[in-house]
Structure formats: C-alpha cells, structure tokens
Amino acid sequence: QVQVVESGGGLVQAGGSLRLSCGASGRSFSGYAVGWFRQAPGKQREFVARIIWSSGITYYQNAVKGRFTISRDSAKNTVNLQMNSLKPEDTAVYYCAADPRGLGNMYFYWGQGTQVTVSP
C-alpha cells in the first residue's frame, strides 16, 4: 500500500510563489505517474499537472501553463510543484495522486491535501 503525503502549502500574496512537495511512503514512485489536482470551495476537483516518472514527460492544464512547474526528484523520491505568479483564483486544497500504471489517466492513491491560499 502506497501512502501519498503532500507538504508545502500556506498563505501567500498574489504574485508570490509556493512550492508543494509530494512523497510516497512504502515504495518508490519509479514507474508511476504522479499528478497534482486542486479543489476550490464550492467547485469540483480539477487536474493541475502530471508527470510520468520514467520519462519525465509533463502535462499542465491551460490555466497554470507558464506559471507552474512539476518535477521529480529521484534522490528524495518526491514530486514537486513549483507555483509562481500565484493568483487568488489558485486558492484551493491541492492534492497529490499516484497512478502505479504510469499512465496518468486514473489515479489510485491520493494524499490528504494541503491548503494553498492566495490573498489579493
């Protein structure tokens, strides 16, 4: 069983930056796809970005392209989400999820989420 744990959320002013980190206990992310999702109050959870661990190929939703960067750290077995030029509409609970098939189209393991709040 893989446990996914997020860290790095917090409060930041618009235009600022935050870095989220996702780790897995129990095994390596090797062979997995790892994605970040977010859910704002009163809204459905939405996809933010994903990375295929083996190839490093990344994919982003249009609203975050050019501002967010997803990356992997093999030494630490973590997937990071660097968020720059943050906007109030980025405020949400951010979730990390892992797909052991390495495809990134269905996620089996989810973290508890970390709150990101961007003030105007």
Identify the band that residue 2 occupies on the pLDDT scale cut at 50, 70 and 90: confident
Q: Which two tokens stand for residue 19?
A: 């870095």
Tens of pLDDT, residue by residue over 32-83, are 999 999 999 999 999 999 999 999 999 999 999 999 999 999 999 999 999 9
Q: What is the pLDDT of residue 85?
A: 98
Cα 103 to Cα 22, 54, 112: the distances in Å are 18, 10, 22
**Backbone angle region of 5, left / alpha / beta, with phi > 0 → left and psi within -120 to 50 → alpha:** beta
Q: ∠ CA 36-16-43 to the nearest 5 degrees?
A: 45
Strand ranges across the sheet with 3-7: 3-7, 18-25, 78-83, 68-73
Q: What is the pLDDT of residue 13?
A: 98
